[in-house]
Every structure is written in structure tokens, then in C-alpha cells.
Structure 1
């Protein structure tokens, strides 16, 4: 009944269905991987973001060798900003707005230099390619609480003088001419003394994991539905073939019955003789009289 499944056409349909199902499964797994990564980030936010600041002496190695589990952990440090080597980082959107971020090295008393991201600035209206004004960092000794963020990769894109294409600490180090901690930088949470005008602080990251689980289930369902659809099509094909065979058998049975039992012929009705007319009677009378 299902031998047609071994035909080239149906084997081709099966191969295509299997290929599409594998693609759906891969997309589903990709969504689950994204969900796992986001859940890990959410865990860091929940565990670290609002934690009590850790003294730099207890977290010094985290800026040199970045630990993903410590992302967003607040670290307290005291030093002096190197305002001469302050830079503007390009292409830094915030809540759908285009803009920049301000970074500056913070030199600590032990000679360590940590890059601090002081916040966000909108694009300028006075001159293209730069903000209208950059709030000055406080001079003299300052105590900064900053959250650990990983160094960014090289984006292979240049930037005008005084600007960076990304927070790539190796490139930044080459520009300032002295050693910077290379594993991570600090996203400023507070500074003391605090200037009257400061860049806009980044908002707390969302802890919503998004629709990735739902998307993954949809992709897996699509993969299953492909085989369900193929099975339904095969079932319909089998039924069509079955009904076609039954129709042929019925036609053959009808032909055999007609041949074995021919229809009886109808008897021919005898022709009626016409009744004799008056002229025929007169002729017969004359013949009898010998005329």
C-alpha cells in the first residue's frame, strides 16, 4: 500500500523534509543558546549590580584578567583622572538615541591605571561628528565607584583625533603611552566629589530574558509539523491509489457480468394484416360468378 514511498519522487520529498527539519532544529538550538547567554548575563546583573562596592585592593586582578562572573560588580577606587588623555567613544546608542561615551584613565596611588567610562553624551548640533560639550572630570583626588565591564574588541575602524572607535584598551594604551589595565574597564556608578554637570549614566540592564524560549519552541514545532505534513500527504496518496484500484475492479466485474448474462432479445411482434377493403370484396364476388 505504501510502496510508492520508495519512488524517487517521494524519497526526494523525504530528503527535503529532513533537511528543513534539521534547519528548524538548528534555529531552535540557536535560540536556546541565546537564551542561556542572556540568562547568564541576567544572573550577573541580579548577583552583582546592586552589591556593596568591593575595594580595589580586593578586586585589582579583575581589571587585568576579566572574569565574566564578575561583570557589573561595583569596585571602589581612589585616584586622579588623567584628563589630558580623555577620549570620546563613537557610535554608542542609548535607548534608541545616537551618541558618544566619555572615557578617561584613573591613575591610582600604586601606579595602576584603570579606564573609567564616565557616561553618555548625545550627538552635537554645532559640529558634526562630536558632542557639543564634554563635561569636565573633577580635578585632584577622586573616589570612584565603577562596575566591571569587559574590554571591547578592535572594530577595524578608524576614529578622528581625540576619539575611539571602541573601548579597545590595547589601542587606548598605545595612545596614552603608559600601561592601562587590559582585561576590563569601569562603568562609573558614582564619583566623589561629584561635578554639577556629568554625562548621562547608563540605565540598569534589563533582566527580561526575552522571547527566545518561545521562538525555540516554535522552530522545534515547525520541524515536527514538516513530518506531520509529509505523513498526511503520504496517507492521502495511499487512499487515492486504493480508491483508484477499487474503481478498476468494479469496472472489470461489470464487464464480466455483461459477458456472462447478455440481455434477452425482444420477440418481434407479428405484422398485422390489413383488413380487406370494399373493392377486394367486389373482385372476389365477380371471380366467383365467372366474370
Structure 2
């Protein structure tokens, strides 16, 4: 076998391996997009089903556990304004601002003494000024809101965490990018329900026009078809390279 033939064979083998890896990558990305589409379709169904149900009066743990995600629930209790946390980089119609999150201590039935984290609304950022969220109303309160599984998260490069203990002696509401119920419960020693409420009533100084999560699952399906198309192109190229390699590898017979 000549050196040119050996070089051509090595190049063909490298091309086949590369195309094979690309096929695996493209198929994996397509399947991942289909998975994301399924997740978003399920979320869209949860939102639709939850909002179709009648508002739920919650006065017991069993009633709260029955509440469907995105269903409107009514609660009675009092605010723990000293445990307010601000969620940064929560824009509203292009305007920068914060979500104001405050625990609400329940006072009815088997829920008495426990609390639920409530997203009270959106606060605009004032350039050059520290955020000043309005104080939570004092005394017993009745509120309504949609039940969420958790506080919606944003992509975060670094880490922002709460102070080691709450409430902060300075009296200043901590500012973080993301917040979990378990972290707030641990830092404040306040028993919190595992769900979150996005407040809708009563009206306050804060805006409560909550954005829906991204549920455009058809876009993910379109992306999946694109990746599968790339995989098909890579497969065709793989077949073409393999066919040429096999033809060159066949021994040639000379006519006498």
C-alpha cells in the first residue's frame, strides 16, 4: 500500500469517526429539545388546569396539599415583614426591579404557626438609590394568590446567599438573585410550607402582574427537528465517505 493510500485511509477513518460523533451529538440535542418540549407542555397543562379551578379557601394542611399548582388560594394570617427578601434582576416590561418576598404566618386550623413564602409584587429599581420596599401591613390579613411550586429561578453565574441568620440586625432587607424556601426557613428558623404564593389580592403599592413562565413547547419541537435534520445530513455524509473508502480499499485486478 502506498503512502498516499495510507494517508487517504487515515483521513477517511478520521472523517467517519468525526461524523459518527456529530450524529450522536445532534441526536442527543434533538432528544433534549423534545424533553424540554414535554416539560413545557406539561407546565402549560398545569397552568390551564389550576386556573380553571375555583378559588380554594385554605384552613388546614390537607386543604393546602390539595391545592393545585396555579390555583387561586385564600389564606388568613399575618406578615413577617422583618424577614422580607428582595429578588434582584426581576424585570417588568423591560424595566429593572425586584420581587418582594415576605413570609406570611398562617393562623387557621392545622396550619396555625407555620408560614408560606409570598411573592408580594414587583418593585421598580431607582437609579442610585437602595431599594425601599413598602412595609407589609400589620395585624391579621386575608390574602389571595396563585400557588407555585417554588420561586422562579434565574440563571446565575455567581452565588448570592442570605445572611447566616435572619432577621438581619441592620433591618435592611437582603438582596439575592435566587431564593429557596428551604434556605429561608433554615436561616430564619421559621417553619415554611414547601410551596410559594404569588399574591394577587388585595391590591398594594407593588405590581402583581406576574409573568407566565415560558411554555412555548412548539419552538422546542422545531429546534428538535432541526437537530435531527443535521443528524440526517451527517448520516448521509458518513455513508458517502464510507462508500468511497470501501471502493478505494478494494483490490484492483489487472486484465492480462
Which bin holds the TM-score, normalised by the shorter protein? 0.7 to 0.9
- Paired with 1:174 and 1:230, the residues of 2 have a C-alpha distance of 56
1:84 to 79, 82, 85: 82
RMSD: 3.4
Task: Tell me the residue number matched to 2:168.
Answer: none
Which of 1 and 2 has higher RCO (CA within 8 Å, sep 6+)?
A: 2
1:201 to 209, 221, 229: 209
Compared CA separation, residues 178 and 213, structure 1 to 2 (3 A): closer
- Paired with 1:231 and 1:178, the residues of 2 have a C-alpha distance of 63
**Bigger-Rg structure (1/2):** 1
Q: What secondary structure, in the 3-state scheme, does the structure 2 residue paired with 1:134 have? A: coil
Task: Tell me the residue number matched to 1:163.
Answer: 174
Tell which deviates more after alignment, 94-103 or 40-49.
Answer: 94-103
Compared CA separation, residues 236 and 168, structure 1 to 2 (3 A): closer
Judging by fraction of residues, say which structure has more helix: 1
Q: What secondary structure, in the 3-state scheme, does the structure 2 residue paired with 1:114 have? A: strand
1:185-196 alignment runs, 5 A limit: 185-191=196-202, 194-195=203-204
Q: Is the 8 A contact 1:121 1:200 kept in 2?
A: no
- Paired with 1:91 and 1:231, the residues of 2 have a C-alpha distance of 50
Aligned residues: 230
- Paired with 1:76 and 1:179, the residues of 2 have a C-alpha distance of 19
Structure 2: which 5+ residue stretches go unaligned?
164-171
- Paired with 1:95 and 1:210, the residues of 2 have a C-alpha distance of 24
- Paired with 2:246 and 2:180, the residues of 1 have a C-alpha distance of 64
Tell which deviates more after alignment, 203-212 or 99-108.
Answer: 203-212
Task: Tell me the residue number matched to 2:31.
Answer: 29
Q: Under a length normalisation based on structure 2, what TM-score does the superposition of the two structures give?
A: 0.74
- Paired with 1:61 and 1:186, the residues of 2 have a C-alpha distance of 13
Task: Tell me the residue number matched to 1:219.
Answer: 227
Is 1:105 the equivalent of 2:103?
A: yes
Task: Tell me the residue number matched to 2:166.
Answer: none
